[in-house]
Structures are given as structure tokens and as C-alpha cells.
Amino acid sequence: MSLDDFLAEWNNAADTVLVHTSGSTGAPKPMRVEKRRMEASARITCDFLGLKPGNTALLCLPLDYIAGKMMVVRALTRNLQLISIEPTSHPCLTMPDGIDFAAMTPMQVYNSLQNNDERQRLMSIRHLIIGGGAVNDKLAAELRTFPNNVWSTYGMTETLSHIALRRISGSSATDWYTPFNSVRVSLNGDGCLVIDAPEVCANTLVTNDIAEISADGRFRIIGRRDNVICSGGIKIQIEEVERELAKHTDIPLIITKFPDDRLGESVVLLTESPDTDTLRQICAEHLQRYWCPRHYLTVSKLPTTATGKPARAEAQRLAAVFLNQR
């Protein structure tokens, strides 16, 4: 979708806008969201960050998904000066210096850090929010020394982008998300986060994200309930395994699962690298014994969504295709 197409949809007589979910756990799904709630979400974010009319806002995300659409709505709602560039994996190649506000995916930020000129432009952004995927520990460590404000976002299409932020840069960097003032969070019986955000979401939203809530109302995400591997009576959180491996290797990988007659489910590691022996050694040295994969599979391309997240359902399907042939 082009910017002109979205503006035409935004300015038409309808009360809603068509958006699609990210597709991280399956096929992207269409849904309609109310324009008035998008405006409310835009005001909440702009107020939290202290954005003023005339501040510059960079649009470098595709307008097919909520993150890109919300950047435009924030600019319209707060009278920000919108600077639109082609969505690419290297947005800092073409963006101007000194942007006041930008939203990027973890992949865009990671790529921008690999080149000094791009890195300097990234550092010049006054408020950078990162969403659409997890910010791993290595990326967070690189961003901690940035002079301006870098935030990781928590939210989903149903909450019209994010409902909480956590600071990544500076002395106040933290693993805990702070919900916006109008948002209340709690846990259900399964330990999953429940979101009450009436300004942006008409109904209370029960997520699949296993979380922990602190006494002061902040929260941190452990992983998704549907990303649990039950192996030999042990519950293994996929994201925890991936986070631990990311501390010890830069080799791209995805953890998934496969049915096992003895264990119930077994841990599977997918990678594009043919060097599975190195990965076996890293896993043996740094993972808990029950976390170590039973299968190491080299695939031509790791499955990801259009927004760069691991495509979990496709990863599980690929593992089944490979292992059922054995």
C-alpha cells in the first residue's frame, strides 16, 4: 500500500481501517479497526514521548501493517512533519540526520549498526521505538550507549501498535515494560498477560504471552504459551532457549518442536548454516541438558514473517517435513 492509498482510506467516510495481523503464528488475518481508537493510540504515544507539532517523524515501515499506519496517524494527529522513505532493511541509508521520532524493526536497527555512517544517523534519532519482534540482549547492549531515547515496544495489531514501552538506552535501561497510564495489565490462571486498554481496544485482551508483573505495575515477557515444548515432562520455553543461544553465537537459528514417541515433544534447531557441529557444541556447553536440541536441521532459508519475526507455524512445518522423511 502506498502513502496516498492509506491517506485516501483514512480520509474516506468509513469509521474503520483495514489492517492485517503480522502472521507470526500463522497466516496474516484481516481485521477492521476504528479510526477514533487509532487517534487515541497516537495521542497516548505522542504524549508519553513528549512529541510536539512540527517535530519530524520518519516513516520507513510498510503501510500494509499497523506499525506503518500508526506512524502516519501519529503525524496527522500531532501535526508532525512526516518524512516518508522506501521501506528497506537499511533505512538509515536514505534518511536525513536529526529525526525527532522513528519506528523500526529489530532487523532494520541491527543492519544500521553494521555501517558507521548508518550508525551515526541512527544515533541522531531523538526518539527511536523498536517493534515487530524481540530486541535480543546483544542488540540491547549495543543500543544502551546511545545518547538519545531508544525504546522497545510491547503490543500487537489488536492494541493498535503498542500499549507499553521499556527503555533500552541510558542508565534507566530495563527489561521491564511500563504500561501507558490508561492501560491496566494482569495475569490469568495460565500466567498469560491480560490487557485492559479501553481507549484503544474495546474488549479486554487475553494474550498468549507468559509474563511477570512487578509490584509497581510494570511487566516483562517470558515467552508465548504456544511456544512451549513439553519434553519428557519438562516445559521448555522456546524464546528462552533462543535468548540463551544468542548470547553465545551470531549464527541465525530458530527453535521449534517435533512429536517424539518417548518424550512427547523434542527440541529442534533450524539454521541456514551447514556447520551444525559448532551449534551442537555451543548447545552442549551453554544450555541446560533438557534444552539441548535432539535434531539439528539445515534449511535453505529460515522462515520469517513480512515484519521479520520468526514464522513459528512454518518452522514447525519445516521440521516435520524434514524429520518425517527420515
pLDDT digits (tens, 9 = 90+) for 27-70: 678 889 999 999 999 999 999 999 999 999 999 999 988 999 99
Cα separations (Å) of 47 from 8, 50, 53, 155, 170? 26, 5, 11, 17, 21
Residue 20 above 60 pLDDT? yes
Tell me 114's DSSP state.
Answer: T
pLDDT digits (tens, 9 = 90+) for 224-271: 888 999 998 898 999 999 999 999 999 999 999 999 988 899 999 999
Q: What is the mean pLDDT of the chain?
A: 93
Rounded to an integer, the average pLDDT of 133-159 is 91
Interatomic CA distance for residues 11 and 50, integer angstroms: 26
Tell me 205's DSSP state.
Answer: E
pTM: 0.80
Residue 1's H or E segment, with its range, is none
Interatomic CA distance for residues 241 and 293, integer angstroms: 10
What's residue 133's pLDDT?
Answer: 80
Interatomic CA distance for residues 273 and 172, integer angstroms: 37
Rounded to an integer, the average pLDDT of 278-292 is 96
Domains of the chain: 3-181 (3.40.50.12780), 232-324 (3.30.300.30)
Interatomic CA distance for residues 227 and 242, integer angstroms: 11
Angle made by CA atoms 35, 61, 39, in degrees to the nearest 5 = 20
All three cell numbers of 19, joined, read 489492517
Name the percent of the chain lying above pLDDT 90: 83
Residue 26 above 60 pLDDT? no
pLDDT digits (tens, 9 = 90+) for 165-220: 999 999 999 999 999 999 999 999 999 999 999 999 989 999 999 999 999 999 99
- pLDDT band at 93; cut points 50, 70, 90: very high
- pLDDT band at 326; cut points 50, 70, 90: confident
